[in-house]
C-alpha cells in the first residue's frame, strides 16, 4: 500500500506524509472525535478507526489473531488497496502521457 501511495502522490516527502497521516493521524483523530459526535454520526468515525490499515494489520499478524479475523482483515485491506491501486495506476499513466507529449513538443 505504501508503494501505491508513493505512485499516486509522485513525490517522496508527500508520499511519506500521506502514509503517516493515513496510518496514524486519521485513526487517532477519528477515535478522539468519535466521543463528541452525535450517536448517528459517531458510528462513521468508529468504522473508520476499525477499518484503518494499522488495526487491520494487527488483526492479521498481531497477538491473538485467529484465522477468521486474519481473513476478514485481509479482505478489509483489499478494500483499501484496490481503489488506491487503481488511482495510482490512473495517475501514473496520466503523468506519463503528459511527459511524453511535453518531450515530443520539444
Extents of the domains making up the chain:
25-51+66-104
User: What is the rounded CA–CA span in Å between residue 62 and residue 66?
Assistant: 9
User: What is the rounded CA–CA span in Å between residue 52 and residue 85?
Assistant: 17
Task: Spell 29-51 as b/e; 16+ CB within 10 A means b.
Answer: ebeeebeeeeeeeeeebeebbee
Average pLDDT rounded to a whole number, residues 55-79: 86
pLDDT band at 103 (very low <50, low <70, confident <90, very high): low
**CB-CB contact of 57 with 73 (8 Å):** yes
For residue range 56-65, list pLDDT tens digits in order.
888 888 877 7
Position 79 pLDDT exceeds 60: yes
For residue range 22-44, list pLDDT tens digits in order.
788 888 888 888 889 898 888 88
Amino acid at each position: 500500500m505504501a508503494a501505491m501511495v508513493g505512485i499516486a502522490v509522485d513525490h517522496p516527502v508527500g508520499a511519506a506524509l500521506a502514509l503517516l497521516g493515513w496510518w496514524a493521524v486519521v485513526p487517532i483523530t477519528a477515535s478522539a472525535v468519535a466521543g463528541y459526535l452525535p450517536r448517528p454520526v459517531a458510528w462513521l468515525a468508529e468504522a473508520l478507526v476499525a477499518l484503518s490499515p494499522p488495526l487491520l494489520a494487527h488483526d492479521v499478524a498481531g497477538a491473538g489473531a485467529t484465522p477468521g479475523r486474519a481473513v476478514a482483515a485481509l479482505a478489509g485491506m483489499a478494500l483499501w488497496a484496490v481503489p488506491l491501486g487503481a488511482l495510482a495506476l490512473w495517475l501514473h499513466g496520466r503523468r506519463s502521457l503528459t511527459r511524453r507529449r511535453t518531450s515530443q513538443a520539444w
